[in-house]
Amino acid sequence: MVRLITHNLLACHAKGCTTNNFPLQIKDAQLALREAEFNPDFLRGFIPRIEWAALVSAARQLGDESLPNEVPEMIDDDFLRGLHHVLLEIHIDEGAMVCPNCGHVYPISSGIPNMLLAEHEIG
Amino acid sequence: MSRPELIAPPEIYYGDTEAKKYTNNTRIQQIQAEMTYRALELLNLPPDEPAFLLDIGCGSGLSGEILDEEGYLWAGVDIAPSMLEVALEREVEGDLFLHDIGQGFGFRPGSFDGAISISVLQWLLNAETSHPTSSPPHRLNRFFTTLHAALRNPARAVLQFYPTSDDQVQLITQIAQRAGFGGGVVVDYPNSKKARKVFLVLYVGDGGAAQVPR
Ligand SMILES: [Zn+2]
């Protein structure tokens, strides 16, 4: 199970890959939607941690156009419900995440990304 | 009985059979649950506030299930595919990653409100992984440095583990401190050979509260 909430926190950790290593590009994604419990307090607290532009572009790559380009000034329930869906209910079951800098491919299989590095990539 | 971490690397030791045996053993379940609750207590999160946690060595989701019940959102990493498969079958809520913690994390700075780890660190100390890697101190350093960065300031990480000697505790504490962590070791039931439990309680910043864990 990997969702956009963790994708938004994840940069490439290969050796020497320290710039332009976020966000990882999502490739060949197969998605599943699974309902999650709506927790507005959690979302409000989490918003400052989000790299918004990265979240919007990742969601659009997955075919979800619902997020606004900027975080609105007035955070209402409607906005939080939309954010909840994008962050916590869209699961990438198959596919890959690719580093935009070094090109390392992190394959996703049965919902689990393989983050293991090759020997020469370990810092 | 030999310690499992001396027999084989975790991703080999916890093959399909061992992963299921481990997860279905009621005594292990009970001990894991107790240690998870204790780790949460030592994590000292603000009460009734939602939090996003990292479960280091989440295995088959025994601790993750408790995080779910307690209303925390979480991500978990583990190096044993068979354990993660069992976690998927058990339908835990957290995001799961196949990850060798000795290679360090790639999480952005300040990603997590806290981290827990139940019975994992001894694997970093004792056994090499099946992937060719460097020395345990190097791997520990990489682990603690990138964990420190992945936590918010202030925050805590609580890591229960089974050291074989005081030297091991010292080595681990030293490397954690060099990585920027404050805090130290909490030992529960220090005089009982069987019940003795060692928790490394690490602080980023002031750890979130002035009070010292009991
Ligand atoms: Zn990279």
Assessment of whether the complete model's pTM goes beyond 0.80: yes
- Structure tokens, A92: 């990438």
Distance A15 CA to ligand 1 centre (A): 8
Give the pLDDT score at B6.
82
The alpha-carbon gap from A37 to the nearest alpha carbon of chain B, in Å, equals 10
A50 or B211, which is more confident:
A50
Q: What is the mean pLDDT of chain A?
A: 97
Q: Give pLDDT tens digits for A68-104.
A: 999 999 999 999 999 999 999 999 999 999 999 999 9
Find the helix or strand (DSSP H, E) in which B47 lies.
Answer: none
Q: Give pLDDT tens digits for A24-46.
A: 999 999 999 999 999 999 999 99
Chain A hits for B132, CB-CB cut-off 8 Å, are 119
Q: Which of residues 13-32 of B touch A (CB under 8 A)?
A: none
In sequence order, the 6+-apart residues with CB closer than 8 A to the CB of A75 are: A44, A47
Give the pLDDT score at B214.
44
User: What residue numbers bound the domain in which A65 lies?
Assistant: 2-121
C-alpha B96, offset from chain centre = 14
Distance CA B183, CA B212 (A): 9
Whether A59 shows a pLDDT value over 50: the answer reads: yes
Strands B52-56 and B73-78, bridge-based pairing = parallel
ipTM, two decimals, is: 0.97
Q: Give me the number of domains chain A comprises.
A: 1
The alpha-carbon gap from A79 to the nearest alpha carbon of chain B, in Å, equals 19
Give the pLDDT score at B132.
53
CB burial readout B4-29, b (16+ within 10 A) else e: bbeeebbbebbeeebbbebbeeeeee
- B106–A10: do the CB atoms touch at under 8 Å? yes
Give the pLDDT score at B212.
47
Q: How many CA atoms lie within 13 A of B189 on its CB side?
A: 8
Distance A112 CA to ligand 1 centre (A): 19
Q: Is B95 on the interface with A (CB under 8 A)?
A: yes
Residue A97's domain is classified under what CATH number?
Answer: 2.20.25.10
Residues in chain B, pLDDT under 50: 211-214
